[in-house]
Amino acid sequence: MRICLFPGTFDPVTLGHTDIIDRALPLFDKIFVGIGVNAAKNPMFTAQQRMQWFNDIYANEPKVESVTFDGLTVHYCRKIGAKFILRGIRYVSDFEYEKTIADANRTLDKTIETIFLTGEPKYTSVASTIVRDILRNGGDASPFLPEAVIHSFKK
């Protein structure tokens, strides 16, 4: 089985995130969306909320499962049997940063390969940081968000 981990904070889940997952579906038998729990970060939304968004968005897609994890990504990959780490790239600067992490992960475990998918151009400007700023300041972030996320805000 081709199992991958798509790690991130996903705070909140954006159309950029779902674009990467949707386009990775044909490549993998199972995609674990790994919501990283990082004590150094102070997320706007709980890990449970972020997991629920993915569960709602992919309710009819058995190949996608959301999980939370902490510690090293390669350690979690070993735990779930993932031989691939999926990462989305928007800009060249993303690639430079992500390649450094991929190189470190390869040094830690040569059996796990990082796969980069570039985002659709229409989602290039979609960043969770920008979305959080819009939300904090009472703006309409709906153009950047999946329907399940928008719907949860209306509750």
Catalytic residue list: 17, 41, 90, 128
Q: Which amino acid is at 44?
A: M
CA dihedral sign, ordered 47, 120, 144, 147: negative
* 3 contacts 32 by C-beta, under 8 angstroms: yes
CA distance between the termini of the chain: 39
81: left (phi over 0), alpha (psi -120 to 50) or beta: left
Place of tokens 């939304």: 45
Query: Would you give the DSSP letter of residue 120?
Result: P
User: In 3-state terms, what secondary structure has residue 32?
Assistant: strand
